[in-house]
Structure 1
């Protein structure tokens, strides 16, 4: 299991803040057409959920990639904290209790990996998709931020995987 540091959570929050800042249409346009503007958040939020799923006990190449991204992000965040503001580095941001994915839940994550990779390359929302997945993987191991999402995401993936593969 890979744990994110305070620096890693900081980088994840910076990705989130960057996306929300660039997305923000302003209060008046948001009040006028809230549904259309809120729909602009969907690619980021869905890929965020995928990124969080990849750190919920997934092994193999996908799990290794997610854990490596978390490790690199934590290292970069720690360097930024030390050199940027003089804070201490390497402190664990806290863990959470993970609900393991079943075999069919893991298979669903593999299918979602193909979808996310292709969508990030072919979609006009590619940048939002890739940054959302990175943000989700980074914040998915933090108890304070995404710990609340681990159980519903894993439960949904397990249920959907069981439903899809139960039909076949």
Structure 2
């Protein structure tokens, strides 16, 4: 498992800020129909949750892709911090404690992977899904609020997997 550095967290927060700035409809529009505008954040939020799952408890090819994405994000963020603002590279941000996925939870993540691939290629929300998953990978192992969200997500996926696979 690759741990996130300050550079990786910076990349994750940058992706989140980019998405919120891209989404922001304006105060007047948000006041007139808040539920409709908030619904546009759902694809990003679902993909963020998926990204958190892949970086925390999944091995194999999916885990390798998530770890590689985190490693590249750490490197990009560290380079940006060093050359952009004169920071230091390689400092590991606080690591979150996480709940590993069960075998059934891993099956759900595999199913979600197939769904995410199809949706990112076929819908108008493909960019939102890709950006959300990347943000989830970057922030999933941080010890902040994003890291604390990982435990309930893992519990929910394990519960869903136990329910689904228990029915067969």
Q: TM-score range by the shorter chain?
A: over 0.9
CA distance in 1, matches of 2:126, 2:57: 26
CA distance in 2, matches of 1:127, 1:158: 28
CA shift at 1:156, angstroms?
0.2
1:111-166 CA deviation, whole Å, 9 max, x = no partner?
00001111111110000000000000110010114121111000000000111111
1:4-30 CA deviation, whole Å, 9 max, x = no partner?
100010011000000000100011111
Give the match's secondary structure for 1:92.
Answer: coil
In angstroms, what is the RMSD of aligned CA positions? Answer: 0.7
| Counterpart in the other structure of 1:107 | 107
CA distance in 2, matches of 1:14, 1:56: 21
Give the match's secondary structure for 2:57.
Answer: coil
CA shift at 1:56, angstroms?
1.6
| Counterpart in the other structure of 1:154 | 154
| Counterpart in the other structure of 1:75 | 75
| Counterpart in the other structure of 1:47 | 47
Give the match's secondary structure for 1:55.
Answer: helix
State the number of aligned residues: 168
Q: TM-score, normalised by structure 2?
A: 0.98
| Counterpart in the other structure of 2:64 | 64
Structure 1: unaligned runs, 5 residues or longer = none
Runs of 4+ in 1 over 4 A off after TM superposition: none
Alignment of 1:11 with 2:4, yes or no, is no
Moved more, 115-124 or 140-149: 140-149
Give the match's secondary structure for 2:56.
Answer: coil
CA distance in 1, matches of 2:90, 2:162: 39
| Counterpart in the other structure of 1:89 | 89
CA shift at 1:96, angstroms?
1.3
